[in-house]
Structure 1
């Protein structure tokens, strides 16, 4: 049963070519021009969608596949947005956000989002840090087997943590020095797990992705097995242009 319209994203121009994609609930993805903006949607079979892995991936897949068709300038909408009809879209989205939409489309024109996540093995880094810092290693070794005061335990712990943080910052600085100049904008986010030391998204020109990818590869070779780098070279620009409907 159709309970409304499920929205995926917005484009700044009319889409004349057929999309031929399947969205949530296996519904055909369609486009609708409303007051100068094109909405990507499918018929909603539910009033509210569970944020399951399957549903989230389907939402993202629709956006990415549409971009692959050549419709690059896209504002992705938050998952789960269902509206009653096109009049509701005009009232709830276009009128309150018209200027914001125009500004975001101008910002995104000719740009794409890529992301970098850096992971390392904390135990290996700790061992390498000790080997490269004989004084600190000796200080720690001298404490082994001894009954330490709380101040001594806290002191050596803070010293080790400080040195490890410096190693982490040095690694991150290499990535920033090499990659930031290639980007129009950079957004750093909190790491998603303990061994992730850096998590950032970059807004870069579409034609610059190959050069950006080569730069990432060069950094990866420089650090060798010390780091694991996750590079996503194609994603909807959530970080830089997500329009959250109220």
Structure 2
């Protein structure tokens, strides 16, 4: 049963009507031009799609494969967007947001999104911090085995926390100072786990990716074995394709 169209993303220029790409429900992926915008879609077999890992990966894979085929300027659409017909696209998306869509395409033209996530071992960093700060370590050691007042507990806790935060900031600043000059825009997001200390997306010129990658690796080497870096150099530009109300 056909339930309409499942939409993946929008391109500013025309692309082949049928691509050698398989979408959700193993459906072939097509393109449809509406009012100067090219929509990437497949026939929807469900009215609503569960945000399962398999479906999310399929959605992302369609966008990445289209980009790999050379259609680089792309506005990815959120997962699960099903429309009954193209009239709905015109009334719900193009008419109210046409100018903003065009502005986003101008911003994204010739650029790509890359992301950097930095992890460290909090316990190991805390131990290293103490070893490098004898005065603080001595204060902490002197308190062991003693009955402490609430003020003393708060005081030593704040000292440890502030010193660990400074250690974290020095790592983040090293990455930011080296990578920001290569980007036209940076968006920092909250860490997603306790051991993640930095989570940022960078909008960079398409041809600068190799240089960006080299800088990430060089900074990582400067910190020896302290960090784990997750660098994603090829993804649809979700972070920078947000339509502001």
Instruction: Give the TM-score of the pair, scaled to structure 1.
Output: 0.98
CA contact (8 A) 1:185 1:202 kept: yes
- Separation in 2, partners of 1:150, 1:50: 49
Task: Give the whole-Å Cα distance in 2 for the aligned partners of 1:49 and 1:155.
Answer: 52
Distance (whole Å) between structure 2 residues aligned to residue 113 and residue 170 of structure 1: 24
Deviations 1:131-181 (A, max 9, x none): 010000000000000011111111111110000000000100000110000
Compared CA separation, residues 53 and 243, structure 1 to 2 (3 A):
farther
1:1-246 superposed matches below 5 A: 1-16=1-16, 18-243=18-243
The one-character-per-residue Cα deviations of 1:178-199 (angstroms, maximum 9, x if unpaired) are 0000000000000010000000
Q: Structure 1: which 4+ aligned runs deviate by more than 4 Å?
A: none
- Give unpaired runs (5+ residues) of structure 1: none
Partner SS for 1:147:
coil
Does the 8 Å CA contact 2:17/2:32 hold for their aligned counterparts?
Answer: no
Separation (CA, whole Å) in 1 of partners of 2:180 and 2:5:
39
| CA–CA distance in structure 2, aligned partners of residues 210 and 51 of structure 1 | 33
Shift in Å, 1:243:
4.8
Equivalent pair of 2:188/2:199 in contact (CA under 8 Å): yes
After the TM superposition, which of the residue ranges 15-24 and 226-235 deviates more from structure 2?
A: 15-24
Distance 1:141 1:182 in 2: 45
Q: Do the aligned partners of 1:76 and 1:243 also contact (CA within 8 Å) in 2?
A: no
Structure 2 portions without partners, runs of 5+: none
Question: How many correspondences in the alignment?
Answer: 245
TM-score by structure 2 length? 0.98
Rounded Cα–Cα distance in structure 1 between residues aligned with 2:62 and 2:147 = 61
Offset at residue 16 of structure 1 (A): 2.6
Q: What secondary structure does 2:114 align onto?
A: strand
Deviations 1:5-38 (A, max 9, x none): 1000000010037411111111111100011000
Change (3 A) 1:108 1:82: same
Q: Secondary structure at the match of 2:117?
A: strand
Residues 30 and 17 of structure 1: is their aligned pair in 2 closer, same or farther, counting only changes over 3 Å?
A: closer
